[in-house]
Amino acid sequence: MSQLKPFEGKRALILGVANERSLAWGIAQVLHQGGARLAFTYLGEALKRRVEPLAQSVNAELIEACDVSYDDQINALFGKVREKWDGLDILVHSLAYANRDDLEGRFVDTSREGFRIAMDISAYSLVAVAKQAESLMQNNGGSILTLSYYGAEKVVPNYNVMGVAKAALEASVRYLAWDLGPKKIRVNAISAGPVKTLAAAGIRNFRTMLSAAEEKTPLKENINAQDVGELGAFLCGPGGVHITGTTMYVDSGAHIMA
Ligand code: NAD
């Protein structure tokens, strides 16, 4: 395997590109530079128009719709991947959702339905796609990557139910790593510092979070999608072969601060 093209011939399915700001797009670009073959999903017709040209610019071999709230859409997606590639090496799960109302005010006011939706889309979906990926990552194992945030561990005002969903996501990473480890399938999360993306725009006072992060981190600067891509490539690539079940930070050191 060439060091310049560590992903030559590797097949990577990327869930969660909405536009050129998406963290998933940062990961896709680094994998592409490393020689990976890529497939993308999009959520709904409106985003299809944004995702298609991006995917085509990195020679995507498959571009499919998938709303992870529906098992039949997940099944159909992996059916297409099987038909196209008959296998899979890398799965990137870079998506989350909570009702806007639940991302402001008090966490104690979260409704049963709001809690269910955030958990289902932001945490359970990783389990559902990992199960499908398992059957495609048969021979040489593979790597599954998801995206988390520090609000999983500590209270971040306005992150609310998403913090609880991210805590469930990080715990799911550990249990999936244990289940899939014997098949050499690794499962890891990246805990990223704040980046201005479409999803981030749903969080009240996100701008304050951004400027606070810049001020309070040891490195005194915010991260970007490419930083996430570089760490993602490390975890999915040769450097990560014995790393599984972990959550790694790319946050300019924010998580060490009291
Ligand atoms: P983004 O808006 O670019 O990506 C979020 C993606 O989730 C979108 O592509 C959207 O289509 C997808 N999505 C939402 N509901 C879905 C569903 N039901 N089915 C399928 N896809 C669905 O924003 P992003 O910031 O790149 O978010 C990607 C991941 O990174 C999320 O898990 C987010 O929580 C996490 N994250 C973001 C930040 C940040 O500051 N931007 C920091 C840490 C972690």
Strand partners, 12: 38, 90
The pLDDT assigned to 212 comes to: 86
Q: Is 149 noted as a catalytic residue in this protein?
A: yes
Q: Is the pTM of this model over 0.95?
A: yes
Does a structural domain hold residue 85?
A: yes
The pLDDT assigned to 3 comes to: 67
Does a structural domain hold residue 225?
A: yes
The pLDDT assigned to 4 comes to: 81
Does a structural domain hold residue 82?
A: yes
Pocket test for ligand 1, best of 77, 78, 94 (most atoms within 8 A of CB): 94
**Roughly how many angstroms between the first and final C-alpha of the chain, as a whole number?**
42
> Which residues of the chain are under the pLDDT cut of 70?
1-3
Q: How far is CA 237 from CA 179, 233, 247, in A?
A: 21, 6, 16
The pLDDT assigned to 205 comes to: 87
Pull the structure tokens for residue 156: 């971040």
Q: Which protein residues are within 6 Å of ligand 1, measured from CB?
A: 16-18, 21-24, 43, 47, 66-69, 94-97, 121, 147-149, 192, 194-195, 197-200
Pocket test for ligand 1, best of 14, 95, 126, 164 (most atoms within 8 A of CB): 95
Q: How many domains does the chain have?
A: 1
For 201, phi then psi, to 5°, come to -65, -20
Question: Left, alpha or beta for 211 (phi > 0: left; psi -120 to 50: alpha)?
Answer: alpha
Does a structural domain hold residue 5?
A: no
Distance of CA 191 from the midpoint of ligand 1 (Å): 13
Which atom of ligand 1 is nearest the CA belonging to 43? 11
Q: How far is Cα 119 from Cα 117, in angstroms, rounded to an integer?
A: 5
Does a structural domain hold residue 189?
A: yes
Domain coverage including residue 211: 11-253
The pLDDT assigned to 1 comes to: 47
The pLDDT assigned to 2 comes to: 55
Q: Is 150 noted as a catalytic residue in this protein?
A: no
CATH of the domain at 237: 3.40.50.720
Strand partners, 91: 13, 144
Does a structural domain hold residue 258?
A: no
pLDDT tens figures, 77-134: 999 999 999 999 999 999 999 999 999 999 999 999 999 999 999 999 999 999 999 9
Does a structural domain hold residue 54?
A: yes
3-class SS of residue 25: helix
Pull the structure tokens for residue 225: 């999608």
pLDDT tens figures, 165-176: 999 999 999 999
The pLDDT assigned to 139 comes to: 82
Which atom of ligand 1 is nearest the CA belonging to 17? 9
Does a structural domain hold residue 237?
A: yes
